[in-house]
Amino acid sequence: MSAVSLDLDPFAEEFLAAPYAHHEALREAGPVVLLAPIGCYGMARHAEVQAALRDWQTFVSSRGVGLADFQQEEPWRPPSLLLETDPPLHDRTRSLMNRIVSLGALREVAARWQAVADDMIARLVARGRFDGVEDLGAAFPLAVFPDLIGLRSAGREHLIPYATAVFNAFGPRNAVFERGMADAGPAMAWVAEACRRDQLLPGGWGMQVYEAADRGECTAGEAERLVRSFLSAGVDTTVNGIANLIHAFAMHPGQWQRLRQEPALLKRAIEEGLRWDSTVQTFFRTTGRETCVAGVTLPANAKVLLFLAAANRDPRRWENADQFDVGRQSSGHVGFGFGIHQCLGQMVARLEMEVLLRAMIPRVNSINLMGEPRRRINNTLHALASLPVEFRAATD
């Protein structure tokens, strides 16, 4: 069998603005489709996406996890030593980073993050109306994450524009990419500088990477590149993860009431938010050899787009997949990926959302949408530019 060809560009602005409207067609066309306008394969069903993510020997990452094949063209920046590598290199860098990004390290900051969240939410409730992206989605990660890494204060406003460029660069060199790149120069220069040892504060996760280098676990050059991964992957993902979760609750007031009545559902609600509206919508792999997926032959050296967010709403995997339901058992979603590359920072992302929801449950009676949310179009992220909301104070 060969893959069904679709005349669908998943990086067209119309698709990126409303991806969920297109996912069903992608899933129903077949287990593997040919996306004719961009000349690559695509998979949008949960079983096939998960299987491809599991099979890193066939679906390699070292040729880039964007549309560009690093074997054919020069990467736009030196490749990530985590995301854009295969074993054995990947396992060495990932093990090193796993020792730094640990549950123990997060336990040390949890109480402080909770206090920051409590204070931020109390102020937003007092204000009433605010922007769910700027005043909460971006404000909270920026209040805790750069300090965790040990970044100096000056220039932190470059973090989001840098991430925008990084996540746009996984797509084609379309107008979305060009717009993101147009003013990314200063952000790229700032990030390059911020990753250097002499710029990092003692005790932070950035300096801990250099200390691993001191122990011979990697070179100083590798350490610099690994610190860059924190800055690339750790900010815009959580910014929009939080904003998307607030948006989900604003659209589903009954679900917010249910969580308030059953706070024990907190962790489930977070996973459900990640399943229902996955910030990272897609990643590519490249076939290192010919392979067969559900009876369809894929040639070697092909780019394959994995629709994580579509897999997370596959009715073959979830009942009422399009419904946001905080009581659902959502584990098994691929919003953080799956397999050896599964999100290194997932515990950080979860903790940020946890402390925020813990702060909100007793204080926020209702979350009301006060205007049309505006999307921020990105080739990889399902992102919001603004989310006008109101937190009505709890009196109970």
Query: Residues in the site for ligand OVM, rule: CB under 6 A?
Result: 80, 82-83, 166, 228-229, 232-233, 280
Beta carbon of residue 253, minimum distance to ligand OVM (angstroms, whole number): 31
Alpha-carbon distances of 342 from 38, 212, 306, 312, 380, rounded to whole Å? 26, 22, 14, 15, 16
3-state percent breakdown (helix, strand, coil) of the chain, nearest 5: 50, 15, 35
Q: Is residue 325 exposed (0-12), middle (13-18) or buried (19+ Cβ within 10 Å)?
A: buried
CB of 80 to ligand OVM, least distance (A): 3
Nearest to 233 by CA among 343, 312, 308, 87: 343
Nearest distance, CB of residue 280 and ligand OVM, angstroms: 6
Query: Which spans in 195-320 are helix H?
Result: 205-214, 220-233, 236-251, 253-261, 266-276, 308-311
CB-nearer residue toward ligand OVM: 208 or 386: 208
CB of 359 to ligand OVM, least distance (A): 26
Q: Minimum CB separation from ligand OVM for residue 379, in Å? A: 12
Distance CA 304, CA 66 (A): 9
Q: Which is nearer to ligand OVM, 212 or 280 (CB)?
A: 280
Nearer to ligand OVM, 58 or 93 (CB): 93
Choice between 208 and 229, CB closer to ligand OVM: 229
* d(C-alpha 47, C-alpha 294), whole Å: 10
| Pick 149 or 233: Cβ nearer ligand OVM | 233
Q: How far is the CB of 382 from ligand OVM (least distance, A)?
A: 14
| Separation between Cα atoms, residue 43 and residue 32, nearest integer Å | 5
Q: Which is nearer to ligand OVM, 124 or 306 (CB)?
A: 306
